A and B are shown apart, each in its own frame.
Chain A
Amino acid sequence: SQTIHQWPATLVQPVGSPLSLECTVEGTSNPNLYWYRQAAGRGLQLLFYSVGIGQISSEVPQNLSASRPQDRQFILSSKKLLLSDSGFYLCAWISGSYNSPLHFGNGTRLTVT
């Protein structure tokens, strides 16, 4: 069966420090991968998506970047965190069919202090 792993579950980082959040998917190949952010009291905002290794599309300009070094690995990074980067980050995957639902990881709660 397919599973998605996202870590860490919680993270507290000071302003200006780097960030690396990792997401891996098991039990499927060539998934579409997504990073969403959920800020307090707000809906989900799509940050990045990837349809294949090395292929990254950014939805909004921001302080973050994403990479896909392997087929089932998706990494969210920042060189210098801002206070506004605080939020709940969710990784998700889809099989590639346009009418398939997204499968979400359990999320990472990031607090930038």
Chain B
Amino acid sequence: DQQVKQNSPSLSVQEGRISILNCDYTNSMFDYFLWYKKYPAEGPTFLISISSIKDKNEDGRFTVFLNKSAKHLSLHIVPSQPGDSAVYFCAARQIQGAQKLVFGQGTRLTINP
């Protein structure tokens, strides 16, 4: 049972435009949501997070939106840059227990010049 889903395996965006990555979840007990970025042959790196009591969090070019009623979150990157080309993982934390994260399958973002 996939509790966190990223239904788009890949996304291609032109440099300078907006990239929108989507994530859906099924477990109402998640209290925190995160996005990680991963380059080839490296470990994932933390990008941005949002608490379940908020609907938006912004950090520079990156904004995460949370729609609790739809159990959906999205990551917006504006403007997209070539260095943003990577795999992006959505993750969610359950309220109980050791800050374990449940990850989505990942979306490979390619920024074209």
* Co-assembled chains A and B: no
